Structure 1
Amino acid sequence: MIISYYLLVVEKMSSSNKVSSVFYAETYHPIQAGSIDGTDTLPHDNAIYRALLCSNAALYDPFGDPKVIGDPYCTLFVGRLSHLTTEDTLRQAMSQYGKIKNLRLVRHIVTGASRGYAFVEFETEKEMFRAYKDAHHTYIDDSEIIVDYNRQHLMPGWIPRRLGGGLSGKKESGQLRFGGREKPFRAPLRPIPWDELKRLGIPAPPEGRYMSRYQIPSPPRRKRRSSDTEEAREHEKRSEYSHSFGGDRSMYNEDRIQKTHKESSRHSYRHEKRGASSKVLSEERAYINMDRDERSSRDLHRHDRWSPSGDDLYRD
C-alpha cells in the first residue's frame, strides 16, 4: 500500500513537471510551427497551408536576398522595434553587449519607414550570445524588444512570416506560431503520432528532453574544426600553467620540450627500424639471386656452427 502510494506521488510529480516543460524547434516545418505541442498533422489556417505550399515547391531561397550580408553565427535578429527607432539609436543600445560590425534596419521599399525589425552583426559569436541572453525583453524607445538568432540562415526549412511562416506574433489567437523563443512548444500530453509525423516529414517532439520555461535556449553553434579544437586546448593548457605557477611559463615550456623530444625519439626509432628492415630485405634478395653452388656452400658454412636446436637442448 505504501509502495503504490509512493509510485502515485512520483507519477504525479513527473506529470506536473512535464506539464510546465517546453521544447524548441531545431528544424522548421509549417504544420509543426502552427501546433501548440508539435503533434499536429493538418494545417489549421490558410497561412500555414500557403507556407506548406512554398516549402514543398521550394519557392523561398534563404540565401537569395543580396541585402543580407555578414556571418549568420554572429548576427542577431531584433524585433518589435518602435517605428521611431533609428540606426543610431539601435546601434547605441546594442553596442553595450559588444562591438557591432554591421547593422541593418529593415525599411519599407517605397516609403522608407521602419518595418520594426533589424539585424545586428557582432564581431564575435561570444558577443552575439551575450546580446542574445541579456537583450531579450529590454526596452528601446519605450518599446519592449525581442531578440533571436538568425533563423533565416541557420534554421533548416525556414519560411518567413510574409509567406505564411514565422514563429510568433503579438496576437494570441488566429495565426498562432510556436517553437521559437517567444512561444515554445508545450510538452505533448496526448499520444504522439510517430508514424504520421514521419510520413509527412514533420519533426517529432524530442521525447524525454524538455526544458523549463526559465531556461535560455541555446542558438546554433558553428562546427569547430579539429585544428581549432587543438588550438583551444593548447591555449587552455597554457593558461592553466600560467595560473598554477603564478605566470611562470618555464614549466609549460619544459613540458613542451619534453613532448617534442619524445616525439622526435619515437620518429628516430621508427626510422632506424625501417632502415634495419630494409637491410634484411636487401640481404634476402641477394641470397635469392645467388647461384646454386654459392647458396649451397653458404648454407653448409652456416649449419657448421652450433645452434641451440631441440636435439642440443635435450642431449645428455
Structure 2
Amino acid sequence: MNALEAFEKEIYYQEEEIPRILSDIKSINDNVCTFTGAGDSYAAALEAVYVSGHKARFIDPLELSLKPSLAKDSNLYIISISGSTKANIEAAKATKGLCKRIAITANPNSKLAQICDDIIELRYKHLGILTAGSIGFTASLLAAISVINKLEVNDDIKNIFRKAKRDAGITLKDHIYTIGSYETYPLSIYATAKIYEVLGFKAQYAMLEQFCHMELFSLSNTDTVLLLSDLEKAQELYDKLDCNKYIFKKYNTSMLDNILYYTFLIQFIVLKNAKILGLSDCHFAENEAIRSISSSLIY
C-alpha cells in the first residue's frame, strides 16, 4: 500500500474512530496554557488558540528553543504525532524547570514523551505507513481543543463526514489560495499543507481580511480561491472574484461541528483532486530529493 492509498483509507477510518476518540478524551480546562508544534501540529495548536478566544498562546518550537523564558510559568503543550521532531525535542529540553511540559503524541515511547513531564497519548486506528496526515491531525486537533474547552458535538459525526464528502466535488487548478476567518484560519493552513504534500501544487493560506490587502493583487483568472467562511465579507469577495472560486459555509452553529466539517472537507477535496489528476502516489512520497531535505531538517 502506498502513501496515497493509506491517506484515503485513514480518512475513512474517521467516520467510526472520531466518535470513539471524542468519548475517550477528557477535557482539562487549562487557563495558563501555551501550545507549540510544527507542520500539521502547528495548525492543530493554532486552532486551540482560536477556540480559547486567544487566552491560550502559540509559540513556534524553534523560537522556544532560542528563548525558553517565553513559556515560563505556563503549561506547555507540545504537539507531535511522532514525538520525534527535532525542534519540539529541543524546545522541551530548553524549557525544563521553567514550565510543566506535556507531550501530545501518538508515540508514548518517543524521545519527546520521555523528556516531558506528562503525556496526552493519542489513540486512533492507523496503518503505520508514512502518509499525509488525516486521522492523526484530527485526533491531535481534538486533543488540543480539549485542553481549553469541553468537546461538544451537536450532530452525528457520520452526518458531518458524509456532507463534507458530498461538498468536496470541486476541481483545484493553478495557484490555490485557501482563505479562512477566525476558527477556519488554522484549517486553511492545514489545507495548504495537504495540497503541498499530496498534490504538489503551488498554494498559500491567508486570513480573509489580509487577503484583501495583499494576496488578492497576485491573483490571476486561472487561479483557485477556496473561501472557508460564511461572513458577509467572504460572500462579497466571492461575488466579485473572476477566477476558479468556491465558498463553503458553516455546517451549523456548533463550533466543533464546523471545525470537523471543514477538516473532513479539506481531506476529501485533496483526495478527490488526486484522483482527478490520476496520481499514483502522494507528491511527497515520489519526490525523494525534497523529502530527504525535509527529513534532515525535521528529525
Q: Do the structures match in fold with TM over 0.5?
A: no
TM-score range relative to shorter protein: under 0.3
Larger Rg: 1
Normalised TM-score (structure 1): 0.23
Normalised TM-score (structure 2): 0.23
Which structure has more relative contact order (CA 8 Å, sep 6+)? It is 1
